[in-house]
Amino acid sequence: MWPREADDFEPDHVEVEGSDNGDALYFAFKGDQLICKSSAGMPEPITGDDFRWFDVEVLSKHYLGRYQGVASYALGIQGDLPEGYGLTGLRGILGKTSMPTFYLAGRALQIVDWHNTNKYCGRCGELTDEHPQDRAKLCSKCGFIAYPRLSPSIIVLVTKGEEMLLARNAAWPNGMFSTLAGFVEAGESIEQTVHREVFEEVGLKVCNLRYFGSQSWPFPNSLMLGFHAEYDSGDIVCQPGEIAEAKWFTKDNLPQTPPKTAISGWLIEEFMNPSGD
């Protein structure tokens, strides 16, 4: 099976009195960069005890819930960090820390970003308030409610017998290939998105779609829905400006592909090793 977020995380937006203590996990961001201890072998979030020594401005602070019984917070800050602490993007911790930590850091960044981009009502421009029941922004003037945004997208491994189709995005370095992906458009079903994206990106028609799993992908706020699909017809025609090249590969001649910590890596691994041995 694919990795999942730990079952012992209890999400909540209502803080319990006394939760914000020295053991609390602080997912603190300066811009979109996570603050970590520079000396740690694995990048990990700082704690409430660590943060006491920070002389920074807290722009926002949000309760996330409890992970293994410990309160977790998302923070947006500005200012200089004390010695012994550094900044890293979330891509920099993927595969270098535990998956629950990556998922919680991604959740935290999305909450901070949602707060920063919804200070004013998107309908009338009035300042928003915190919703009294939900994690949302409420406009007291026109009643508009802004929840944290998710952008659903598909990611699909197309196969033909023992071959799999992998493509290189035009913005990627030579030699790096992955599965096809794209955002769901308004009015589409997830299945329609798979068919459209594959045809747009490589000119192929597919059949026998099989849902595989999903992954929160906070770059910046995607939910990746993974599929396997079988080749039906067509010749490879790469979308100009989007796909630099696309080829059929077998497990014996794989190019460089994403790590198994990403859903694209899970899709490839499941096709090559369906029994999980």
Range of the domain at 82: 9-117
Closest by CA position to 218, among listed 8, 29, 21: 29
Do 102 and 164 belong to one domain? no
**CATH number, domain containing residue 113:** 3.90.79
Are 165 and 253 contained in the same domain? yes
Over the stretch 72-107, which tens digit does the pLDDT of each residue have?
A: 999 999 999 999 999 999 998 988 888 899 999 999
d(CA 260, CA 172): 18
In a shared domain, residues 243 and 216: yes
Q: Which residue spans within 103-204 are E strands per DSSP?
A: 129-130, 137-138, 145-146, 151-160, 163-169, 180-183
Tell me whether residue 2 is in a domain: no
pLDDT number for residue 276: 64
pLDDT recorded at residue 187: 97
> 114 vs 61, 63, 133, 146, CA distance in Å?
12, 14, 17, 9
Residue 4 lies in a domain: no
Specify the number of domains making up the chain: 3
Residues pairing with 216 in the sheet: 223
Global pTM value: 0.91
